[in-house]
Amino acid sequence: MDLVIRNASLADGRHGIDIAIEGERIAAVGPQLPQRGLREIDAGGDLVSPPFVDAHFHMDATLSYGLPRVNESGTLLEGIALWGELKPQLAQEALIERAMEYCDWAVARGLLAIRTHVDICDDRLLAVEALLEVKRRVASYIDLQLVAFPQDGLLRSPGAFENLKRAIAMGVDVVGGIPHFERTMAQGAESVRLLCEFAAGKGLMVDMHCDETDDPLSRHIETLAYETQRLGMQGRVTGSHLTSMHSMDNYYVSKLIPLIAESGVAAIANPLINITLQGRHDTYPKRRGMTRVPELLAAGVPVAFGHDCVMDPWYGLGSGDMLEVAHMGLHVAQMTGQAAMRQCFLAVTETPARILGLQGYGIVPGASADLVLLDAGGPVEAIRLRAARRLVLRRGKVLSEAPPARASLNLPGRPQSVDFRLTRKE
């Protein structure tokens, strides 16, 4: 074997597991494997996970914070206005450079697959060209999936549908939308129908920004689920955000969630962004705004957590750390039960991998040797500590290494250092 990792814990709760890697693939997984490696790594009981996956991001805007000015109010609408100011000034090389820098951060965080929306409302499609170039450049270390996103509205923005079709023809993977931003509810529903029909005709996946509002009557997810079923697109459609569900009437939701489950539509919440951008018109009590994650999960709907934004017109924070995303999601959804905390880890690993349709993902024989060794004993501890990525491997090759978090102490009669670990096992 080229590499054997010894004594790892896995996110499913197994401990003392060895992982043998031959070339670019995982050859064997199990306790005390007899295979010997040219190189051997002792995980020391720490968690080995498949890479983090971000199912919802905006790479065309990332790291543009402060350009051309900062978002003074911190609201979604000022963010959209600010992006509109920045767009005409975007230079392709600068955009590529910012995206490449973010991809460096992502690798160091063990984030090796990203679905990014790309704004297609600029007739030059400059961001599309730039992100297709980034996709080519990072292909050996990050799976980048692009979504054609009509940020200013498919029907509201002249030429948007034509631009979207051009973007798909250029190689963008997924059809996006933003029905709640169209002029009327009826036009929102119409945009969902048009986009789903277009995607069905091309055999493409769909991922729409859907109902990113606190308006409980924003019900485009209902139309999205209906169109998915009508067009036989089960398993290929995702509703992103779905924040209006937070504010909907419980009786209506009791009908809606089974319809979403039945249609095979997946959901993506963006906890860091939802908790900061929603509820802005409220005084007190203030709504959290994030969609109903535990209830969707209980109904069998796949739910992933996305980062959405890092240092852009909408959000001035973040660093590509999907454990920070899971940490916020866990808190906002009050998912503090043991099983629920583990689901939050899956929401930034296995679940988005399924939503993106990634091949060869997971720690099983035959899968790609893409792994992250974390400075934590299990998934809950990883979330609690936003654990350091001791090693990040892609196709069997080490891409990034980081020291575990330790602090030295100078206290009378106390240990000389702390590692913030209560126990090494979960």
Instruction: Tell me the three-class secondary structure of 273-301, residue by residue.
Output: HHHHHCCCCCCCCCCCCCCCHHHHHHCCC
Nearer to Fe ion, 308 or 375 (CB): 308
- Which distant-in-sequence residues (6+ apart) come within 8 Å of 166 by Cβ? 120, 125
Spell out where 16-67 has E strands.
Answer: 17-22, 25-31, 39-42, 47-49, 52-57
Instruction: Find the shortest distance in angstroms from Cβ 178 to Fe ion.
Output: 9
Nearer to Fe ion, 9 or 157 (CB): 157
Please report the DSSP string for 360-390 in residue order. Answer: S-SSSTTSB--EEEESSSSHHHHHHHT--EE
Is residue 47 within 8 A of residue 374, CB to CB? The reply is yes
Q: Is residue 212 among the annotated active site residues?
A: yes
Nearer to Fe ion, 173 or 308 (CB): 308
How many residues in total does the chain contain? 426
Nearer to Fe ion, 240 or 349 (CB): 240
Angle of helix 160-170 relative to helix 126-138, nearest 10 degrees?
Answer: 20
Instruction: Find the shortest distance in angstroms from Cβ 114 to Fe ion.
Output: 12
Nearer to Fe ion, 142 or 277 (CB): 277
- Which distant-in-sequence residues (6+ apart) come within 8 Å of 287 by Cβ? 214, 246, 247, 278, 279
Spell out where 150-191 has E strands.
Answer: 174-175
- Name residues contacting Fe ion, limited to 299-328 (CB under 5 A): 308
Please report the DSSP string for 230-284 in residue order. Answer: HTT-TTSEEEEE-THHHHS-HHHHHHHHHHHHHHT-EEEE-HHHHHHHTTTT--S
SS3 label, residue 175 = strand
Q: Nearest-CA neighbor of 60 among 23, 90, 36, 19?
A: 90
Whole-number Å distance between alpha carbons of 92 and 128 = 10
How far is CA 286 from each of CA 278, 290, 421, rounded to the nearest angstrom?
A: 9, 12, 35
Instruction: Find the shortest distance in angstroms from Cβ 52 to Fe ion.
Output: 18
Is residue 396 within 8 A of residue 2, CB to CB? The reply is yes
Nearer to Fe ion, 60 or 308 (CB): 308
Instruction: Find the shortest distance in angstroms from Cβ 314 to Fe ion.
Output: 8
Whole-number Å distance between alpha carbons of 205 and 366 = 26
Site string for Fe ion, 251-290 (x = CB under 5 A): ----------------------------------------
- Site size for Fe ion (CB under 5 A): 1
Residue nearest to Fe ion (CB): 308
Tokens of 272: 């860091």
Nearer to Fe ion, 58 or 236 (CB): 58
Nearer to Fe ion, 177 or 379 (CB): 177
Q: Which residues pair with 57 in a beta bridge?
A: 116, 308
Instruction: Find the shortest distance in angstroms from Cβ 240 to Fe ion.
Output: 6
Is residue 339 within 8 A of residue 298, CB to CB? The reply is no
Instruction: Find the shortest distance in angstroms from Cβ 80 to Fe ion.
Output: 11
Is residue 229 within 8 A of residue 262, CB to CB? The reply is yes
Marked catalytic residue, from 212, 350, 381, 426: 212
46 part of the interface to Fe ion, by CB under 5 A:
no
Instruction: Find the shortest distance in angstroms from Cβ 312 to Fe ion.
Output: 10
Instruction: Find the shortest distance in angstroms from Cβ 16 to Fe ion.
Output: 41
Whole-number Å distance between alpha carbons of 151 and 168 = 15
Nearer to Fe ion, 54 or 308 (CB): 308
Instruction: Find the shortest distance in angstroms from Cβ 125 to Fe ion.
Output: 19
Active site residues: 212
The residues binding Fe ion (CB under 5 A) are 308
